[in-house]
Amino acid sequence: MNLIIFGPPGSGKGTYATRLQNQLGIPAIATGDIFRETIKQGTPTGKKVEKYLKSGQLVPDEIVIEVLKERINREDCKKGFILDGFPRTIEQAKALDKITKINAIINLQVPDHIITARLSSRRICKNCGAIYNLLNLKPKKDGICDKCGGELYQREDDKEDVIKDRIEIYKKQTQPILEYYKNKVPFVNFKCENIDMPPEKAVEQILEGLRKIGNRKN
């Protein structure tokens, strides 16, 4: 299945996508990761991407699509993929329609208070980048990374006032895209009402929704 996972910052997109790729045997593809990979390879497209990123500009849609097309044409995507972080605009969604068919949308619905609690509790190691959470993934020693002994810090965009802005931006950007796909593609709507829900339980519910879609198609 070719899937897209949507969800606000702090909804668990990356966590769930990683677990889903292991369960389904298809890769999770984040645009940020493929940008970095393309730049590292030194391809002509990678050099274009690097130029835009270094100058602080958004990478134009036609280049994003070019990079994505190269990625989903690889052997490991023969059985499908999970897109994380794309599309971000209606124009990107329309461009995506021209290069592949999307079979289902995974829509993570998480209340604002849970997102705020999760993100405001996140801490990151200045040295190795390891991620902790003061709610459910605490370091053994306060403010110190378990892995390398580095100092933990809170990102500026993980502070409460910034989180609220990030949520509002996500809603404004994503709502039109969800509307675009609403009558085109089946949705798996996953609602998280409990901040302590284990990722494995969430993923099992998402997989159950995907199985129902698969059964309807057969």
Is residue 5 within 8 Å of 106, Cβ to Cβ? yes
Q: What are phi and psi of 135, to 5 degrees?
A: -85, -50
First to last CA, the chain: 13
Q: 């897109």: which residue's tokens?
A: 83
Of 13, 71, 118, 123, the catalytic one is 13
Q: Identify whether 212 is a catalytic site residue.
A: no
> Which residue, among 107, 41, 52, has the nearest Cα to 74 in the 3D structure?
41
Q: What is the largest CA-CA distance in the chain?
A: 53
CA distance 169 to 167: 5
CA distance 113 to 93: 29
Torsion angle in degrees (nearest 10) through CA of 115, 120, 126, 127: -50
Q: Identify whether 122 is a catalytic site residue.
A: yes
Q: Identify whether 123 is a catalytic site residue.
A: no
Is residue 63 within 8 Å of 48, Cβ to Cβ? yes
Q: Is 28 exposed, middle or buried (0-12, 13-18, 19+ CB in 10 A)?
A: buried
Of 155, 164, 212, 217, the catalytic one is 155
Q: Identify whether 71 is a catalytic site residue.
A: no
Residues taking part in catalysis: 13, 88, 122, 155, 166
